[in-house]
Amino acid sequence: MLDDAGIKSVAFKDCKLMGIDFSKCNDFLFSVSFENCQLDYCSFYKKKMKKTIFRGCSLKHADFTETDLSLSILDHCDLSEAIFIQGTLEKTDFRTAKNYAFDPEINKIKKARFSMPDVVGLLTKYNIDIE
């Protein structure tokens, strides 16, 4: 559907974009922002998305494998079962995001910002009980 589509400086607002494979978009000047969007099951595989803003979005089951989200903001986003593998999340702001769970050992998270209680999602791989 989006094979080699050029998406440059596009702001999506109040959109339902479930299951869209953004990884197929042309990488040249790829730049997006999302506000109040439903992005469940979307793929951002290997996309360079530095400084991308996601506000009030549902990103359930979204695939961020090998995605560069450095300096991005995930403001009040639901990341239930979102996939983060070998991603670059340096200086990414997760402070108001919820339901994220990923392995900090296989993602670059230097200077990323988190808040309680959702930061415990970084410990799920250890199968421990936190009270």
User: pLDDT tens digits for 47-62?
Assistant: 999 999 999 999 999 9
- CATH architecture for residues 1-124: 3 Solenoid (2.160)
* CA dihedral for 112, 122, 67, 53, sign (positive or negative): negative
- Stretch 27-45: mean pLDDT, rounded? 96
User: Residues 72, 51: contact at Cβ < 8 Å?
Assistant: yes
User: How confident is the model over 59-74, as pLDDT tens digits?
Assistant: 999 999 999 999 999 9
User: How confident is the model over 14-30, as pLDDT tens digits?
Assistant: 999 999 999 999 999 89
Domain segments of the chain: what residues? 1-124
CA distance 110 to 72: 13
Cα distance from N-terminal residue to C-terminal residue, the chain: 46
Rounded to 5 degrees, φ, ψ at 27 are -75, -20
**1: pLDDT strictly greater than 70:** no
pTM: 0.92
Query: By mean pLDDT, which of 28-37, 82-91, 120-129 is the weakest?
Result: 120-129
